[in-house]
């Protein structure tokens, strides 16, 4: 009985609007992860300082560190200090370089240990970083998914925003014998999170959903070269099917904001690529400003783009 009540309360919380504003245009910014260790902290700091000067509903950091930066607690703490100093409400969405690609000195994966540490350091509060505190609903509020605090949602006006942990290393699918536990458990959590998001958007007749992730789950990956082998499962297939199916039953706009340059090598900068009611926007360094205007048919537009 207690478990049922907990699940019911969690469902009610997830269906409750977080922020209600007039149905007017507003903008948010997305900061890309550093391109390399040389850019590192300076690129993140500069981008935050630039967005501090803009009138933004919030800022999202799409990846904490570059691929070739350390996965150490010291670097995580350094970035957290930068995020805390932001003037706008700042939200973190993880990339593969933050945890899934982390290796030990012996060249062994430490992804499981690093994602656990990131959850402790960045995803324990009920509010965003920065001076303007945005209230956040975390998937960890649901007892069955208490681990997945990095999956968050918040609402501004008639738009639902959410993060989804989809690392661009084939969703951290490992081609190994036995149970692929990290991938499989997170796959269940992500599927449940998406289901709840679309239920909330449909039941509240919201104009749009914005999903922030590292990878672009809509992009089809080739299995014949590079990282993939012919026997290797494509790690985004199930999520892609779920999004495409849910989009058929949802009359609003869906925007997927990602940093997956490997999947979208031909994507035009500053451009949202639309197919039916689903759009994909690749974020390049240093940061991108997106405007939401309910009066416009496509709802979302890239109004400014700053490179370093």
CATH number at residue 256: 3.60.21
pLDDT band at 271 (very low <50, low <70, confident <90, very high): confident
Per-residue pLDDT tens for 131-147? 999 999 999 999 999 99
Residue 107 lies in a domain: yes
Q: What is the pLDDT of residues 31-44, one digit of tens each?
A: 999 999 999 999 99
* Cβ-based neighbour number of residue 267 at 10 Å: 19
Residue 51 pLDDT exceeds 60: yes
Tokens describing residue 157: 């006006």
Looking at 1-10, 22-31, 248-257, 268-277, which range is the least confident one?
Answer: 1-10
Residue 3 within a domain: no
pLDDT of residue 96: 98
Both structure tokens of 224: 């014949």
Rounded to the nearest 10 degrees, what angle do helices 181-203 and 111-122 cross at? 40
**Could you report the per-residue pLDDT of 198-215, keeping only the tens digit for each?**
999 999 999 999 999 999
Please report whether residue 2 resides in a domain.
Answer: no
| Separation CA 108–CA 68 (nearest Å) | 15
In a domain, 8, yes or no: no
pLDDT for 171: 96
Q: What pLDDT score was predicted for residue 264?
A: 57
For the cut 60, the answer to whether the pLDDT of residue 187 exceeds it is yes
Burial 90-109, CB ≥16 within 10 A → b, else e? bbbbbbbbbbbbbeeeeeeb
On whether residue 5 sits in a domain, the answer given is no
pTM recorded for the entire structure:
0.89
- pLDDT above 50 (res 1): no
Q: Is residue 171 part of a domain?
A: yes
Structure tokens at 129: 């970083």
- For the cut 70, the answer to whether the pLDDT of residue 76 exceeds it is yes
Question: Is 6 inside a domain boundary?
Answer: no
Query: What pLDDT was estimated at residue 16?
Result: 46
Please give the residue range of the domain that contains residue 52: 14-306
- Residue 227 CB neighbour total at 10 angstroms: 12
For residues 264-268, average pLDDT: 55
Q: Provide the number of structural domains found in the chain.
A: 1
Mean local confidence (pLDDT), 153-175: 96
Would 54 be classed as within a structural domain? yes
How far is the C-alpha of 48 from the C-alpha of 86, rounded, in Å?
6
Query: Which comes out higher in pLDDT, residue 142 or 23?
Result: 142
């Amino acid at each position: 009985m207690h478990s049922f009540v907990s699940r019911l309360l969690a469902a009610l919380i997830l269906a409750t609007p977080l922020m209600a504003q007039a149905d007017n245009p507003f903008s948010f910014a997305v900061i890309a992860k550093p391109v390399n260790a040389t850019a590192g902290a300076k690129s993140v700091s500069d981008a935050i300082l630039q967005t501090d000067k803009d009138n933004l509903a919030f800022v999202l950091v799409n990846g904490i560190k570059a691929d070739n930066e350390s996965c150490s607690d010291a670097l995580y703490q350094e970035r957290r200090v930068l995020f805390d100093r932001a003037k706008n409400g700042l939200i973190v969405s993880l990339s593969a370089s933050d945890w899934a690609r982390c290796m030990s000195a012996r060249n062994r994966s430490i992804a499981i240990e690093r994602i656990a540490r990131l959850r402790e350091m960045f995803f324990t509060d009920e509010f965003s970083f920065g001076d303007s505190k945005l209230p956040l609903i975390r998937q960890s509020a649901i007892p069955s998914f208490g681990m997945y605090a990095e999956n968050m949602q918040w609402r501004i006006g008639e738009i639902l925003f959410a993060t989804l942990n989809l690392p661009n290393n084939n969703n951290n699918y490992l081609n190994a014998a036995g149970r692929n536990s990290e991938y499989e458990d997170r796959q269940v959590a992500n599927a449940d999170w998406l289901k709840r998001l679309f239920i909330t958007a449909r039941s509240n007749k919201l104009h749009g959903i914005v999903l922030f992730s590292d990878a672009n789950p809509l992009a089809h990956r080739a299995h014949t070269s590079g990282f993939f082998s012919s026997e290797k499962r494509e790690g985004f297939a199930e999520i892609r099917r779920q999004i495409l199916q849910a989009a058929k039953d949802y009359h609003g706009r869906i925007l997927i904001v990602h940093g997956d340059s490997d999947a979208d090598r031909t994507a035009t900068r500053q451009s949202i690529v639309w197919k039916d009611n689903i759009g994909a926007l690749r974020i390049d360094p240093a940061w991108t400003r997106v405007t939401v205007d309910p009066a416009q048919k496509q709802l979302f537009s890239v109004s400014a783009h700053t490179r370093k």
